[in-house]
Structure 1
Amino acid sequence: MRGYYAARRVSRWIATETRVLSLLPQPPTAWRRVALTLLLAYVAARLCVWLQTPIPWMIGPLLATSLVSVLGARTESWVPFRNAGQWVIGAALGLYFTPQVGALIVGLWWAIALGVAWALALGLGFGAWLRHHHAAHLPALSPAQLRSTTYFASAIGGASEMTLIAERHGARTDLVAAAHSLRVLMVTLMVPFALQFWCVQGIDRLPDALSAVQPEGLVWLAGLTLLGAGLMRRLGRANPWFMGALLVSMGLTLSGVVWSAIPTGLINAAQLVIGVSLGVRFTPAFVHTAPRWMASVALASVVMMVLCAAFAWVLAAVTGWHPATLVLGTSPGGIAEMAITAKVLQLGVPVVTAFQVCRLVAVLVLAEPVFRWWNARQT
């Protein structure tokens, strides 16, 4: 009997070690690719700092890695680096949620609910247009596959989560993943430059604690946010490294506990690895994925950004918040990318984060039920 339990312990240990080792790049070529990709990203970030582009530590790596990846270079992003970047950004954003800001956001619940409804309606409209436009150009797809592919490609939610749900409904997951990647790339690049052209930044009143780094407090903050990220990951939640750290940091700050700011260098490094993780998706194969489909997604993404900006202006007129803050809060981009933009440009970080987080959660919860309802009406 003891031998049986010993064998089980050994098998569990082997399984754990295998999972850990699977995260490591396989030497020596993969390590070199990771190192060279990070070096390229750092040079691009420094160049963007010199050129004074918006959010240079994310846009520079994103542009550089996506460009060389499309040209055929074998770039590589290490998953633990990306996870660590999301962890740092989540912890940093949570520090903005002071009790006063929390009370203000609670009073905006109705505007956040409108933002969620807007995102769901926009996704449905985008999906209906894609289905109508591509019905004759994707003959290999059955009507049911076409409906699921176009619907989940257009839902404004997490790319990996939407792709997984789409797979359960028989969609072409390569088209779904490509649509989300392209949309996030376009929003991440176009919205910050539009805001810079608009000459808006620095409207946040930053708490004093955000500029004071306390080593002991930073250790406590890092430990608790890491536990939060680990718990979210164990529960199988979306974006666990970002959401877990954000919720813990937010809870502490709302309780009046602020131990330390996050060092600027650490935040810059986090932006860099997140930019790299986005850029490496754009391989030569990505470019050749159904060119007509990608052109339609690009056009629709631009239209969605314009419509979201108009919606943000209407909300701004009603709520009194700055339009730039609500443009970021309602834009069809990724939560981490839009929150980083808000942080770097100081454009209402708590409001942007609240809008984006609530939309993400709502879309993840409602996307499948709404699809079943919509699909039943189409058949």
Structure 2
Amino acid sequence: MLLGSAGGGVFYLLHLPLPWMMGAMTFTTVAAVSGVRIAMMPRLRMVFVAILGIMLGSAFTPQIIDHLALWSISFLWLGLYVVAATFLVRLYYIRFAGYDSVTAYFAAAPGGLSEMILAGSAFGGDEARISLAHGARILVAVFVLSFGYRWLGGYTPSGTSLAATTQGVAAVDLLWLTGAGIIGFFGARLLRLPAYALVGPMIVSAILHVLGWTTSRPPAELVAIAQIVVGSMIGARFTGLPLRLVVRGILLAIGATAILLLLAAAFGLVVDATANQRFASALLAFAPGGLAEMSLIALALGVDAAYVSSHHVVRIFMIVVAAPLVFRLFRRQG
């Protein structure tokens, strides 16, 4: 956390995009690949990921109900994207990395990192390579999209963040938000939902905001710390891995991420034309990053965070449910 905070502070002073997450991610990644043994306390991580989920839920408003019909069209395109992305990146890892079919399949499936590692190792895949593929993909995607939107797309941090000041949140609203975090966290864990620490609080917070029971958001100070935690989590994943393996994994991830981003851009154009959704939002919704990371970029740039986060939740559910079933089907046919 000290490394992540220092990195976030440096990036903030340099006016770089998404500074608290990007700075934390950069400093901890450099430290990890340099041999420093760093790790994130699981309980601390869960608390601040839940806060991020509450914040994402606050992006859902009663007006969103009017957009659900168009969102359903976008969800259908998302399903096709997941199939195409898994197929193309699997071929990439087999042809260019020499991965076996099991490792290549679970390294390619753009789902939750921990879920793909567990499923891949259960089927005999290389756990280290699967973990590195997903961790490096998120690292590359965050860098490319954050700087790309800032420098190429002309987007600047939004002046209307989904965070409030500490003084701007009433006590009763703090109780609502705290309740959303606690009920969402334990309820989602009980139901064994993927990414439950983020998804559960987000769903409960979204329900409260759609019903109009509260319009408040978490304090900006907590949101900044949550960004540091998320960024530090990315860097900590590379701890203990040989530098040569990490460098090769990142180089391979650059190629895989390029394929996924080009495919996401193509589907983004289709969604723009068929679902009346801006390309900038669709690209982030289909982009090959993590739920927390892509949602934070959407929040920072003032892009439709509810649309982006909901699509990444649906994508994770698609992959977590379908990936093992599809793999079993193909293995039986083979």
Q: TM-score, normalised by structure 1?
A: 0.81
Give the RMSD, CA atoms, in angstroms. Answer: 2.2
Per the TM alignment, residue 314 of structure 1 is displaced from its structure 2 partner at its CA by 2.8
Distance 2:251 2:309 in 1: 30
Distance 2:71 2:256 in 1: 29
Per the TM alignment, residue 320 of structure 1 is displaced from its structure 2 partner at its CA by 3.0
Q: State whether structure 2 residue 75 is matched by structure 1 residue 112.
A: yes
User: Contact (CA 8 Å) 2:39, 2:239: kept in 1 or not?
Assistant: no
Per the TM alignment, residue 51 of structure 1 is displaced from its structure 2 partner at its CA by 1.1
2:112 alignment partner AA: G
Aligned identity (percent) is 27
User: Contact (CA 8 Å) 2:24, 2:228: kept in 1 or not?
Assistant: yes
Of the three residues 206, 211, 236, the one matched with 1:280 is 236
The size of the alignment, in residue pairs, is: 331
Counterparts in 2 of 1:217-366, with a 5 A limit?
Answer: 217-258=173-214, 260-283=216-239, 285-289=241-245, 295-366=251-322
Distance 1:65 1:261 in 2: 28
Q: Mark the CA change 1:204 to 1:366 in structure 2 (over 3 Å): closer, same or farther.
A: farther
Per the TM alignment, residue 244 of structure 1 is displaced from its structure 2 partner at its CA by 0.8
Of the three residues 176, 188, 213, the one matched with 2:130 is 176
Q: State whether structure 2 residue 330 is matched by structure 1 residue 367.
A: no
Q: Mark the CA change 1:46 to 1:314 in structure 2 (over 3 Å): closer, same or farther.
A: same
Distance 1:159 1:325 in 2: 23
Distance 1:165 1:337 in 2: 22
Distance 1:290 1:271 in 2: 23
Distance 1:305 1:276 in 2: 24
Q: Mark the CA change 1:311 to 1:203 in structure 2 (over 3 Å): closer, same or farther.
A: farther
Counterparts in 2 of 1:12-161, with a 5 A limit?
Answer: 38-135=1-98, 146-161=100-115
Distance 1:265 1:271 in 2: 10
User: Deviation per CA, 1:160-195, whole angstroms, max 9, x where unpaired?
Assistant: 000111122111111111111110111111111100
Unaligned runs of 5+ in 1: 1-37, 139-145
Of the three residues 166, 169, 181, the one matched with 1:213 is 169
User: Contact (CA 8 Å) 2:54, 2:180: kept in 1 or not?
Assistant: no
User: Contact (CA 8 Å) 1:329, 1:353: kept in 2 or not?
Assistant: yes
Distance 2:76 2:235 in 1: 32
Residue 78 of structure 2 aligns to a residue in which SS? helix
User: Contact (CA 8 Å) 2:181, 2:201: kept in 1 or not?
Assistant: yes
User: Contact (CA 8 Å) 1:75, 1:280: kept in 2 or not?
Assistant: yes
Distance 1:57 1:216 in 2: 29
Of the three residues 161, 165, 173, the one matched with 2:119 is 165
User: Contact (CA 8 Å) 2:89, 2:259: kept in 1 or not?
Assistant: no
User: What is residue 140 of structure 2 aligned with on the other side?
Assistant: 186
> Which stretch of structure 1 is more off in the superposition, 187-196 or 280-289?
280-289
Residue 35 of structure 2 aligns to a residue in which SS? coil
Q: TM-score, normalised by structure 2?
A: 0.92
Per the TM alignment, residue 289 of structure 1 is displaced from its structure 2 partner at its CA by 2.9
1:103 alignment partner AA: D
User: Contact (CA 8 Å) 1:183, 1:297: kept in 2 or not?
Assistant: yes
Per the TM alignment, residue 295 of structure 1 is displaced from its structure 2 partner at its CA by 3.2
Unaligned runs of 5+ in 2: none
2:229 alignment partner AA: V
Q: Mark the CA change 1:290 to 1:351 in structure 2 (over 3 Å): closer, same or farther.
A: closer
User: Deviation per CA, 1:87-146, whole angstroms, max 9, x where unpaired?
Assistant: 0110011111111113313432011121122122211221123223344xx6xxxxxxx2
Per the TM alignment, residue 240 of structure 1 is displaced from its structure 2 partner at its CA by 1.1
Per the TM alignment, residue 229 of structure 1 is displaced from its structure 2 partner at its CA by 0.4
User: Contact (CA 8 Å) 2:58, 2:215: kept in 1 or not?
Assistant: no
User: What is residue 149 of structure 2 aligned with on the other side?
Assistant: 195
Q: Deviating runs (4+, > 6 A) in structure 1?
A: 202-207
Per the TM alignment, residue 313 of structure 1 is displaced from its structure 2 partner at its CA by 2.4
Q: Mark the CA change 1:96 to 1:219 in structure 2 (over 3 Å): closer, same or farther.
A: same
1:100 alignment partner AA: Q
2:101 alignment partner AA: R
Per the TM alignment, residue 290 of structure 1 is displaced from its structure 2 partner at its CA by 8.0
Q: Mark the CA change 1:304 to 1:224 in structure 2 (over 3 Å): closer, same or farther.
A: closer
> Which stretch of structure 1 is more off in the superposition, 281-290 or 169-178?
281-290
Distance 1:293 1:339 in 2: 24
Per the TM alignment, residue 235 of structure 1 is displaced from its structure 2 partner at its CA by 2.7
User: Contact (CA 8 Å) 2:188, 2:197: kept in 1 or not?
Assistant: yes
Residue 330 of structure 2 aligns to a residue in which SS? helix
1:235 alignment partner AA: L
